Amino acid sequence: MTVLSVNVNKIAVLRNSRGGGEPDVVRAAHACLDAGAHGITVHPRPDARHIRADDVLALAELTRARGVEFNLEGNPFAPPRPGYPGFLALCEQARPAQATLVPDGDAQLTSDHGFEFVRDAATLRPHVDALKALGCRVSLFADAHTEAGRMGITHAADVGADRVELYTGPYAEGFASGSGTAIAAQFAEAARRARDVGLGVNAGHDLSQENLGFFLQHVPGVLEVSIGHALIGEALYQGLATTVRSYLEILSGRR
């Protein structure tokens, strides 16, 4: 079964909007795990717009204590700055079970593309090696909606990665505009190419209760989905525990 890692970035967005500690990121993560989520994801950004370094350490402690996966996402090329020690340094401190490398920048509203593996291989390799030496499983954010992305995905294995995370933003857009079948076929091809070279396949970005089931029916073999924006938004209406359980039902094929 595909596992669910809940991304709690958006809890920190709300907290930071007023300063102080509420809503509490660790309490929210606890609630997700109590409801059955298999892990917790965060994507701290160097501009500290939501998750901060102290949150990462607190969530690392929580996930270790609960015996669940902690998935830390970030750009290995972003230089350190006050409040952000750099992705590798954060991983050294937090020792996440999985490190997901994402080529994002401050100017981006959110993550919006994967790596170009052929171009980025030489610069990625030492980061992948360093993360693996820390004991992290390494996943690389990858495009599946372009032919270049689907072709390039096989080179993620040359870089030494264990998995790729398919960037599902374009899938969510395609699904919403009625072309879900065509775009899901592209993701299925990307997933097959990744598996053919021994890579595990994760997926994430803009997945929701509406589009997740269709995605998993059409893209077999996805090991993990990380979901934040839609899940936390839906939880405003349904409550966090109910929402997490709804996702678990979708993942188990019961919905």
Ligand X SMILES: NCC(=O)COP(=O)(O)O
Per the annotation, the verdict on 165 as an active-site residue is no
Measured N-to-C along each axis, helices 9-16 and 25-34 cross at an angle, to the nearest 10 degrees, of 150
Partners of 131 in the β-ladder: none
Among 15, 43, 52, 113, binds ligand DXP (CB under 6 A): 43
Q: Which is nearer to ligand DXP, 9 or 186 (CB)?
A: 9
The answer on whether 7 is annotated among ligand-binding residues is: yes
Residue 163 binds ligand DXP (CB under 6 A): no
137 binds ligand DXP (CB under 6 A): no
145 catalytic, yes or no?
Answer: no
Q: Which is nearer to ligand DXP, 102 or 240 (CB)?
A: 102
218 is catalytic: no
Does 202 participate in binding ligand DXP (rule CB under 6 A)? no
9 near ligand DXP, judged by CB under 6 A: yes
What span, in angstroms and rounded, lies between the C-alpha atoms of 178 and 148? Answer: 24
119 is in an annotated binding site: no
Q: Is residue 71 at the binding interface for ligand DXP, with CB under 6 A as the rule?
A: no
Catalytic option among 38, 43, 155, 218:
43
Task: Give phi and psi for 200, each to the nearest 5.
Answer: -75, 160
Measured from the CB atom, the residue of 47 and 255 that comes closer to ligand DXP is 47
Distance CA 213, CA 217 (A): 6
Least separation, in Å, of the C-beta of 254 and ligand DXP? 26
Where does this chain bind ligand X (CB under 6 A)? Answer: 7, 41, 43, 73, 165, 204-207, 226-230
Binding site for ligand DXP (CB under 6 A): 7, 9, 43, 45, 73, 102, 110-111, 141, 204-205, 228
Annotated binding site for 3-amino-2-oxopropyl phosphate: 7, 18, 206, 228-229
Active site residues: 43, 73, 205
